Structure 1
């Protein structure tokens, strides 16, 4: 919601008027100097939007504010050109509305278009989100990273490395929306106050690493050369439910230089719906973008969300730091998932991250069943994952 600066206003006064934490207002207006506001300058207030109201007989700003349970000052700020003394019947005024419920619907077939629309709506409502492209997929779709918070500790989450594990993306987005709501409404999640996390932790989130593959699984092949090649790789079948790879038939989670040769020796040697590690490491733009992001941000810990099995893989070649054990034990406690230190699998993002950065890395396998997991498992999966999201920030 946009308002305009009046004489004597400050960002602190807006925080009081709208009951929004001051850091969220400051971060929603990165180009504004808080100590040098100019009259008429636009200011974004996060967590609010405007609704229109037609003045009725007997209405006043006081009556409208009382009925809507908002302050008169917030009403004045939303209507800088209105004269509150001479309201006219039928006159349209703007009423600030605090958003208290989720604005996205994650319980659906969640393809790259749904994700892009949801990210745009969230960024408009919560402009303290930092959103950027970290690269493009094979088909040119943006790989979007969002950041929330100002802490020195950078915690990274990602989803949908594997195409038919796309339910990880809406699971992540459900928490993102819940976190934003808790921040702007001064609410707790599972008894924990969220604002200290915002001050202490920077969340780096790539909700969908493999948008081409996700769209292929959900919507079928596109009518172009990419779709034709995917059909060929899939032996002519239009059933892509078993497809894990990117659009070129490369398994993005087998693309990293962490014993890649072992995987290459025992996995398919040409493009396939799953498991082909490429002809060499880091050939795919999606895997390269994720490697560059880790190098840029120096994650304090990294969580890659996959499905299925309700297990958490947390070790690699005895290179993981000692604190990884305590972290995964807490993840297990809050989720019921089983921690597994080592598994005979290599070349994954988690493996490479532990190897190159020697920081805690985790592959979290959500849910049970056959991929793609049905959306009717969403709420059960989310409730178990919620504790992991929180623990990754406080551990």
Structure 2
């Protein structure tokens, strides 16, 4: 919601008027000078939108404020005129009380774009950055929340048919944003304390081309080529790779030459490492993101198995074991130090930075996991993701 500054207004006053933490109002207006407000200046108020009320006989400002659970001055602030003529429209500041993201819809790249746009509008302290592009030139988005020194990256949908991980991460972002503006807890932890302690860098869809292929089928101009890569099948539900048939989570230089000897030698729906490490635009963007920010922790969301993989060749720091056990206690998942698997993003991160990295395998079953598992998975994941930010 946007409001126009009046004489004598302050951000502190807006914080009290709308019951929004001051830091969130300040951070929602980081693109403009709000240290000294000017009359007529536009200011973003997060967590609110504007609705309207048609004036009826007997309406009063005090009565309407009480009815809509607002301070009277909140109505005066958003209405240039408070002439209560019957039939006229009065603007009402409306607090957002429901989530914007619906994670159980057809969650392709188009839906992700719509939800990101809406979250940015209603929670403008959320920051968006494009860190790269996919093979088909779809942008790879990184969403940032928080201002603490500790940096945590959480990513989803490295693998195309694991798109339910994007739904989980987007639901978490929406819950976190709402808890912040309402000054509430999330999984028993005060949301504002997480905001002050950590910066969350969320990459909700690493492989947008692949997700769209699984959910929508191949683009017409690539249909013949992709069916060939898919072993002649027109059903792409088992496809994990990017649109060129390269498995993005087997692209990183962490025992790459060893893993190459036992994996497919040509592009296909899964497990092909590519001709060289970090050859794909998506993996280049992910590597550059980690190198640029130097994350303190990294979580990659995958499916399935209800396991937390936290080690790599003995290079993981001592704190990784304690964090893994903490995540296991929060989620009910099993913490597993080593598996016979290499070249993943988590593996490379641990090798490169010697910092805690985790691959979280969500849910049970056969990929792609059905959306009917969403509620169970999210119940397990929310407390784990909160713990990751502490």
TM-score (norm 2): 0.99
* Residue of structure 1 equivalent to 2:120: 123
One of 320, 326, 329 as aligned partner of 1:324 = 320
| Counterpart for residue 386 of structure 2 | 390
Task: Verify: 1:236 aligned to 2:247, yes or no.
Answer: no
In structure 2, distance between residues paired with 1:23 and 1:336: 34
Number of equivalenced pairs: 390
Tell me by how many angstroms 1:201 deviates.
0.6
Matched, 1:271 2:267: yes
1:356 maps to 2:352: yes
SS at match of 2:233: coil
Distance in 1 (CA, whole Å) between partners of 2:104 and 2:319 is 35
Between the aligned partners of 1:175 and 1:198, the Cα distance in structure 2 is 14
Q: CA deviation at 1:262?
A: 1.1
What's the CA shift for 1:32? 2.9
How far does residue 34 in structure 1 lie from its aligned partner after superposition?
Answer: 3.0
1:107 deviates by 1.0
SS at match of 1:103: coil
Q: Secondary structure of the equivalent of 1:224?
A: helix
Q: Distance in 1 between matches of 2:218 and 2:31?
A: 43
Structure 2 Cα separation of the partners of residues 8 and 32 of structure 1: 18
Q: Deviations over 1:40-96 (max 9, x none)?
A: 0000100000001111111121111011110111111111x20x3x42111111100
Q: Counterparts of 1:22 and 1:327 in 2: how far apart (Å)?
A: 32
After alignment, is 330-339 or 25-34 more displaced?
A: 25-34
Separation in 1, partners of 2:387, 2:35: 36
The corresponding residue for 2:143 is 146
Quote how far apart the aligned CAs of 1:36 are.
1.1
Secondary structure at the residue paired with 2:141?
strand
Q: Who is 1:14 aligned against?
A: 14
Superposition RMSD on alpha carbons, in Å?
0.8
CA distance in 2, matches of 1:327, 1:151: 19
Structure 1 residue 250 displacement after superposition: 0.1
User: How far is the alpha carbon of 1:190 from its aligned partner?
Assistant: 2.4
CA distance in 1, matches of 2:195, 2:266: 45
- Separation in 2, partners of 1:201, 1:289: 22
Match of 1:155 in 2: 152
Contact preservation (8 Å) 1:100, 1:185 = no
- Distance in 2, matches of 1:339 and 1:104, equals 30
Check whether the contact 1:48–1:125 (CA below 8 A) recurs between aligned residues.
Answer: yes
Q: CA deviation at 1:108?
A: 2.3
From 177, 181, 199, the counterpart of 1:180:
177
Cα distance in 2 for residues equivalent to 1:87 and 1:108: 41
Residue aligning to 2:187: 190
In structure 2, C-alpha distance between the alignment counterparts of 1:383 and 1:166, rounded to whole Å: 18
Q: Encode CA deviations 1:194-219: one digit per residue, 9 max, x unaligned.
A: 00111111000000000000000111
Aligned counterpart, 2:281: 285
Using the TM superposition, give the Cα deviation of residue 191 of structure 1 relative to its aligned residue in structure 2, in angstroms. Answer: 2.1
Residue number in structure 2 paired with 1:220: 217
Matched, 1:344 2:309: no
In 1: Cα distance, 2:272 partner to 2:31 partner: 46
Aligned-pair distance for 1:282? 0.6
Q: Deviations over 1:263-305 (max 9, x none)?
A: 1111001101000000010110000000000011111100000
Q: Distance in 2 between matches of 1:228 and 1:88?
A: 65
Q: Deviations over 1:305-350 (max 9, x none)?
A: 0000000110001000000000000000011111111111111000
What stretches of structure 1 move > 6 A for 4+ residues in a row? Answer: none
Once residues 64 and 347 of structure 1 are traced to their aligned partners in structure 2, the CA distance between those partners, rounded to angstroms, is 61
Shift of 1:132: 1.3
Could you give the per-residue CA deviations for residues 327-382 of structure 1, whole angstroms, max 9, x where no partner exists?
Answer: 00000001111111111111100000000011000000000000000000000000
Partner residue in 1 for 2:161: 164
Residue of structure 2 in register with 1:62 after alignment: 62
Partner of 2:207: 210
Residue 296 of structure 2: aligned partner: 300
CA distance in 1, matches of 2:224, 2:338: 38
Q: Distance in 1 between matches of 2:293 and 2:347?
A: 17
| Per-residue deviation, 1:104 | 1.5
Counterpart CA distance in 2 for 1:209 and 1:330 is: 26
Q: How far did residue 117 of structure 1 move? A: 0.5
**Structure 1 counterpart of 2:52:** 52
Are the equivalent residues in 2 in contact too, given 1:155–1:204 (CA < 8 A)? yes
Q: Mark the runs of 5 or more structure 2 residues left unpaired by the alignment.
A: none
